[in-house]
Structure 1
């Protein structure tokens, strides 16, 4: 039985001074309590020694933390024949037992084990400032990215790369014990396993790879979701077991079916360990696309069914990665499924996530695209010690995560090949990528041994004749927002263009990629979130405090808003304008990509969540308030989507059916007057095959500031949708659409019934309580239309009418 070591004390010193001050024995004054797993910043905040860096303009006031030497100390009682296990030390650390150096650590993403004598001991860890450990020596950089990498030297250490700031994150590099510490008996145990489904029929053939810490007899039982033993086997030592499971219950993504989880119980010398897993097959189809010659598919096939991957990119849910509560993971991932996601990508600049993340993805039916932790930089693969460190990291993380049913893809890095490609394009040179050995040889070699069934991809984006090519693989579309040129074939076409026209979200229509794994538009968080974290005097456009919340170039948002909403005059306008622009942009992009099914087989938005309260690309802000784009995304990712494609004076209605059943329904298409009433209406019978996307109606339409083209389902098969026929800023909307709101208490929840006299665009329900959850939001109401929305509290509390504001554009 393992014993967790959770209660610690911490103290800081000038570099090199802790040992002589008796820190290894916990001597002296000034120690403050901390927990493991935990975070040094959080401990300092709780002790009153540090103002919360998320509040006001406090980020810069925390800069001293990274330059100090941090000691963590505790007292432990160690039994006979035991070892100390450190699951995560961040990052350069020396471990002392009774003042004697036990060992050292130099990788945040590895665990560390040390033999320890029985008895009562002082246990201490000295964490060194990272810059002192990587100072001097060669530092590979990309042109245009040199400043930030040169400042942090992050590529020379195995540590969360976003810690020194990103274009959405603060400069708060962490330090300390970020994963559990435990005392573990030194007996044979199951260190990891792989669970692979070879074939599925009336029974499932599965292979279990067992990795034992020492040779021993191991007995394995597989229990079905109800706890019944359905297969068992035994062997001596590490190796494979092949089992046959009768009447298998298959694991599916949330949109296609249930998520039955089997429990694998391994008994080694009377000690049992449990793993939860699922029976499913998954392949990555890269066959030629016969309808678009010269291109290849990039689509995931689950249990024989080709998928359209719908989802977003995940960044750490806090800069303080060791102090994220489980409930945050559960809430964010449940809301991913609530937005009709079936995939989430763990981005390579963060961390290999805590176990709760993957357990929840298994439970909820979310496939995981898993990056290795390399991002937007060249890495020194010519340093043998650095490469050996990465080799151990990759082997450990693959062994740890490979059994999860949710694991869909291993990816070598984020954007490293692509940035090198664009740097070479700009300078008309060809430069070898520092780090290529890792992605082309080291990682695939380890995967071939430990997880040969899970697909591997060398980087994101990658594929086709060059990185970011539309002809194959995956694409990051940063034409919209950053103005980066598209790559239709081998070469980038044109030059970077950050003008309003160059970054307009309508340019998503030029993207004919196979799979889009990043695309997005920034928006402000809810005004209530800004008020909770910012000083009152900073709640205005252009204030220093507000600009500190924008880590990318602030003017980029202006270029996005100009053609859509125009420019804001107040902070409240900025929140509304950026939210609407982001929502309209995500709607436009997703509809375009989904209409192209199967030629395009995935759309992963940048990004799902935030690590702190800021202006970013997220769909859900740091306080958990869903932006307008979350609701727009949920509708655009609905299992069945009806969407318009407008081209000049003609329109097409497409129906995209991601379900495994045909869609038989009637669509009502109408040209509605914003002032009220309709110009015309047409009924279109639908018969759409499973897992397909087709045009069901073409017709003429004139661009107009006084009309909107709408579609509704007679049978409720798909959410109502519309196409605006002019920019939002030009629409002839009534200043007052005549919104009427009534309410009724429904248990602890509140049912709001809304009616509009005239067309109401982007009806917005909001509250200063971030825990309120709205059944729907940011929707349109036509004149005379009525909708009832249920409002609940995530903590189960009562919802009061006076806590909710109702408005429209």
Structure 2
């Protein structure tokens, strides 16, 4: 049987003649931080102070004593090396690497002594390749398209520039004889109630094992299959049938049934190697067929057409080895709590760790996986082309067992960039990646993982017959609104699938205080500007606030209003697009998470704190949604829309109230309604309830089953608000001495009430985000982690909209 020794102890990092303890898995930055040799690059402007790290060469060493073995072969296995490295053992060169996104195996039979991994600066390697293949356009000044490394480690419009080096995934010694399982590819299908697994095995044999007959056995519980592998053959196929298989469903649609799948390779003397994964049975299709609106982009899982409620995922830490399985679980559980059902792993990051996909399997979060190309023209010449093919094959095989993985995507924005960003003219006849997205990658997916759909890019209209970002065909990225317009302009179009859109806001107050401990905070203070990476980011934040509220002079007020605008902007888009299901079949907000403390589009900030946007996603992504959409006819009558994503009809009574500026209702009616399963009901608001066009003194409130929507005919700064007044008390929570209830009773209209719990205690969390109360209504906000807070202290953390 194969013997495995994990190489996770005893490593040394060599730095300026010194030998430092090194963590494996780990990276240079985290080792230097641990040794106290660099400041925390996430704090203040320290990012610039550690820029030298990414431009140095680094060496890791480990003593491997002579170890006699009964096995014929000894392999050194690295699941990830970041990035350009040469490896020696006892002075003998084992090989070299230049791809962070691959695993590596080196024959070390009979060797011992010092194992050394010599890393070349990523900049030096990228410049070497650029000199070979020629320059290509890029939206950023860094050379990330010339090296197969996490692109965003070179900086992005939300991330720091911290390209690192290191042994970033586990390393081990594997000793084996006769043969081993070199690759296992389970293709799962469902026919009626029977689940089928077609297992494709790739074997590696030693010289003496070449002429031996082998057997391979696969098992799922009591279901087994065995195949004989003749001498000299290095592939095999097994087929397992599971009767009455329970299906894996996305969250909100059913259970996440998972099965243990085990494979054993043996010869006449006994077991040689084993392989284990969890799989799930489900079908997935991508419907891009033409209709009266253009051509769609609808995910169909187990025969059910879905409105996707998604979020984009970036690496959760620029120093990615700090992301533990527990941290993955926490972030992804937060996504599920926000009623998100799909996570898009964005193409400027990494193929995430197995723990990420395991958590998605268990939580019912569908995964849209980008191949790793983003915002740049990528050369198709060697040495990159061979690396990219090997990388794609490696990761398709690694990830295909996961039932949560529902879509492969060729790239992020490169097809769009070619057409709209001046690349076409600049490139002339140079390669730029099209051959990967429309040729190499779909061929690899069709060969290795044919049960999953592939799309060439995001955005992509399905062919060059239409503009790559055409709203009527395929996927669409909506960035004109954030960059140049008011968020109300999300309502101007109905894309078939919105794969990216978003609005910025700063992180939570406690995150800012930890990150900039000695700074007097202001929108344009040095630390705030350093932690704003977007082009004209603060100007765009100010534009959004100014349009609706006017710009406040006070930082705390600015901070609150930017977060309100972020939440409202994203909600405006999702409510509009959900109301047009099935023409629009999904939204994937940019973005769920952050990789460091920064002003960004994230719903969860770099310290893991929830922004108001997270709570708003929980509301607008719930199975049932009430929204009021502005009218577009001559009389501008608003539309009441009820979206029901649940599998059963929604029988409800909608209460419509025309409300005066002081928060008191002037006209009320109740409308019994039934919304069929997975459908949307739209109807005009009755004339008697609709606020007058342009009214500054009345608005509409719609309530159903505890859900509320409000519709104001004008912006906040135009509306005739009264000064909001409310009573506030604090009550202990029986049975939980860590929590308090903040009870707010409105005496007037209180719009977008927000308890910023982190202002009470850094780790405190509230159970609700923005709330709008009519006069006389009461809200109870539970805050965990702020025990001992009194009413006066609580009031300092409570914000709401005030008259302009």
- The two structures have a TM-score, normalised by structure 1, of 0.89
Distance 1:451 1:407, change over 3 A: same
Asked if 1:764 corresponds to 2:754, the answer is yes
Please point out which of 617, 635, 639 is paired with 2:601. Answer: 617
Cα-to-partner distance string for 1:260-313 (whole Å, 9 max, x where unaligned):
1111011223343320111100000112224x3xx1120000000000111110
Cα-to-partner distance string for 1:202-236 (whole Å, 9 max, x where unaligned):
3333433333444842211113xxxxx34544453
**1:725, distance to aligned residue in structure 2 (A):** 2.6
Cα-to-partner distance string for 1:773-808 (whole Å, 9 max, x where unaligned):
322222212221123333335xxxx84435853332
Q: In structure 2, how many angstroms separate the alpha carbons of the residues matched to 1:430 and 1:584?
A: 43
Q: In structure 2, how many angstroms separate the alpha carbons of the residues matched to 1:56 and 1:204?
A: 54
**1:119, distance to aligned residue in structure 2 (A):** 7.0
Q: In structure 1, how many angstroms separate the alpha carbons of the residues matched to 2:80 and 2:422?
A: 37
The equivalent residue for 1:253 is: 250
The equivalent residue for 1:273 is: 275
The equivalent residue for 1:319 is: 318
**1:428, distance to aligned residue in structure 2 (A):** 12
Answer yes or no: is the 8 Å Cα contact 2:724–2:749 preserved in 1.
Answer: no
Asked if 1:607 corresponds to 2:591, the answer is yes
Please point out which of 213, 238, 241 is paired with 2:238. Answer: 241
**Deviation larger for 77-86 or 658-667:** 77-86
**Deviation larger for 386-395 or 268-277:** 268-277
The equivalent residue for 1:489 is: none
Asked if 1:712 corresponds to 2:683, the answer is no
Q: In structure 1, how many angstroms separate the alpha carbons of the residues matched to 2:192 and 2:560?
A: 53
Distance 1:123 1:778, change over 3 A: same
The equivalent residue for 2:644 is: 657
**1:530, distance to aligned residue in structure 2 (A):** 0.4
Please point out which of 453, 456, 459 is paired with 2:454. Answer: 456
The equivalent residue for 1:695 is: 682
The equivalent residue for 2:525 is: 543
Q: In structure 2, how many angstroms separate the alpha carbons of the residues matched to 1:368 and 1:779?
A: 31
The equivalent residue for 2:491 is: 509
Distance 1:680 1:210, change over 3 A: farther
The equivalent residue for 1:414 is: 412
Distance 1:631 1:118, change over 3 A: same
Asked if 1:806 corresponds to 2:804, the answer is no
Asked if 1:156 corresponds to 2:143, the answer is no
Answer yes or no: is the 8 Å Cα contact 1:624–1:771 preserved in 2.
Answer: no
Answer yes or no: is the 8 Å Cα contact 2:227–2:236 preserved in 1.
Answer: no
The equivalent residue for 2:7 is: 5
The equivalent residue for 1:519 is: 501
The equivalent residue for 2:445 is: 447
Answer yes or no: is the 8 Å Cα contact 1:313–1:347 preserved in 2.
Answer: yes
The equivalent residue for 1:642 is: 626
The equivalent residue for 2:136 is: 141
| Count of matched residue pairs | 755
Answer yes or no: is the 8 Å Cα contact 2:13–2:21 preserved in 1.
Answer: no
Q: In structure 2, how many angstroms separate the alpha carbons of the residues matched to 1:429 and 1:387?
A: 18
Q: In structure 2, how many angstroms separate the alpha carbons of the residues matched to 1:342 and 1:573?
A: 33
Answer yes or no: is the 8 Å Cα contact 2:360–2:367 preserved in 1.
Answer: yes
**1:741, distance to aligned residue in structure 2 (A):** 2.7
Answer yes or no: is the 8 Å Cα contact 1:416–1:459 preserved in 2.
Answer: yes
Q: In structure 1, how many angstroms separate the alpha carbons of the residues matched to 2:643 and 2:254?
A: 18
**1:617, distance to aligned residue in structure 2 (A):** 0.5
Distance 1:431 1:677, change over 3 A: farther
SS of the equivalent of 2:355 reads helix
Distance 1:736 1:643, change over 3 A: closer
Cα-to-partner distance string for 1:78-112 (whole Å, 9 max, x where unaligned):
55332110111111101111233221111001111
**1:601, distance to aligned residue in structure 2 (A):** 0.3
Q: In structure 2, how many angstroms separate the alpha carbons of the residues matched to 1:138 and 1:202?
A: 52
Asked if 1:177 corresponds to 2:186, the answer is no
Cα-to-partner distance string for 1:673-699 (whole Å, 9 max, x where unaligned):
231320111111111111111214433
Distance 1:13 1:479, change over 3 A: same
Q: In structure 1, how many angstroms separate the alpha carbons of the residues matched to 2:683 and 2:15?
A: 70
Asked if 1:682 corresponds to 2:669, the answer is yes
Distance 1:79 1:562, change over 3 A: farther
Asked if 1:529 corresponds to 2:511, the answer is yes
**1:706, distance to aligned residue in structure 2 (A):** 3.0
Q: In structure 2, how many angstroms separate the alpha carbons of the residues matched to 1:2 and 1:732?
A: 72
Answer yes or no: is the 8 Å Cα contact 2:217–2:224 preserved in 1.
Answer: no
Answer yes or no: is the 8 Å Cα contact 2:74–2:175 preserved in 1.
Answer: yes
Please point out which of 199, 212, 216 is paired with 1:208. Answer: 199
Structure 1, unaligned stretches of length 5 or more?
15-28, 224-228, 483-497
The equivalent residue for 1:573 is: 557
- Aligned runs of 1:715-726 on 2, under 5 Å? 715-716=705-706, 719-726=707-714
The equivalent residue for 1:390 is: 388
Asked if 1:55 corresponds to 2:43, the answer is yes
Q: In structure 2, how many angstroms separate the alpha carbons of the residues matched to 1:564 and 1:233?
A: 68
**Deviation larger for 309-318 or 671-680:** 671-680
Answer yes or no: is the 8 Å Cα contact 2:560–2:799 preserved in 1.
Answer: no
The equivalent residue for 2:120 is: 128
Distance 1:675 1:448, change over 3 A: same
**1:609, distance to aligned residue in structure 2 (A):** 0.4
Answer yes or no: is the 8 Å Cα contact 1:193–1:403 preserved in 2.
Answer: no
Q: In structure 1, how many angstroms separate the alpha carbons of the residues matched to 2:715 and 2:470?
A: 30
Answer yes or no: is the 8 Å Cα contact 2:89–2:112 preserved in 1.
Answer: no
Q: In structure 2, how many angstroms separate the alpha carbons of the residues matched to 1:34 and 1:789?
A: 46
Distance 1:139 1:429, change over 3 A: closer
Q: In structure 1, how many angstroms separate the alpha carbons of the residues matched to 2:291 and 2:584?
A: 10
**1:541, distance to aligned residue in structure 2 (A):** 2.6
- The two structures have a TM-score, normalised by structure 2, of 0.90
Answer yes or no: is the 8 Å Cα contact 1:316–1:611 preserved in 2.
Answer: yes
Distance 1:377 1:275, change over 3 A: same
The equivalent residue for 2:260 is: 263
The equivalent residue for 2:209 is: none
Distance 1:562 1:273, change over 3 A: same
Asked if 1:196 corresponds to 2:225, the answer is no
Q: In structure 1, how many angstroms separate the alpha carbons of the residues matched to 2:431 and 2:616?
A: 39
Q: In structure 2, how many angstroms separate the alpha carbons of the residues matched to 1:216 and 1:756?
A: 76
Q: In structure 1, how many angstroms separate the alpha carbons of the residues matched to 2:744 and 2:183?
A: 54
**1:36, distance to aligned residue in structure 2 (A):** 0.9
Q: In structure 1, how many angstroms separate the alpha carbons of the residues matched to 2:46 and 2:120?
A: 24
Distance 1:454 1:129, change over 3 A: same
**Deviation larger for 768-777 or 659-668:** 768-777
The equivalent residue for 2:210 is: none
